[in-house]
Amino acid sequence: MRPIGSATEEVYDMKVADLLIPSTKEWDVHKIRETLPTFEKEILCIKLSLTDVADKHIWIPQASGDYTTRTGYHITYSENPRQIATANANREFNWKSEIWEGQLSEKLKLFLWKVMQKALTV
Domain map (residue ranges) of the chain? 1-53, 57-91, 93-122
Say if residue 31's pLDDT is above 90. yes
Instruction: Look at residues 121, 77, 116, 71 and name the one whose alpha carbon lies nearest to residue 98.
Output: 116
Looking at residue 33, its amino acid is R
Q: What is the pLDDT of residue 27?
A: 95
Q: Where are the alpha helices (DSSP H) in the chain?
A: 29-35, 40-44, 69-79, 81-90, 95, 106-116
pTM of the entire predicted model: 0.42
Q: Average per-residue pLDDT in the chain?
A: 80
What confidence category does residue 116 fall into, taking pLDDT thresholds of 50, 70 and 90?
confident
Residue 108 C-alpha from the chain's centroid: 28
How far apart CA 106 and CA 122 sit, in angstroms, is 21
Q: What is the pLDDT of residue 99?
A: 74
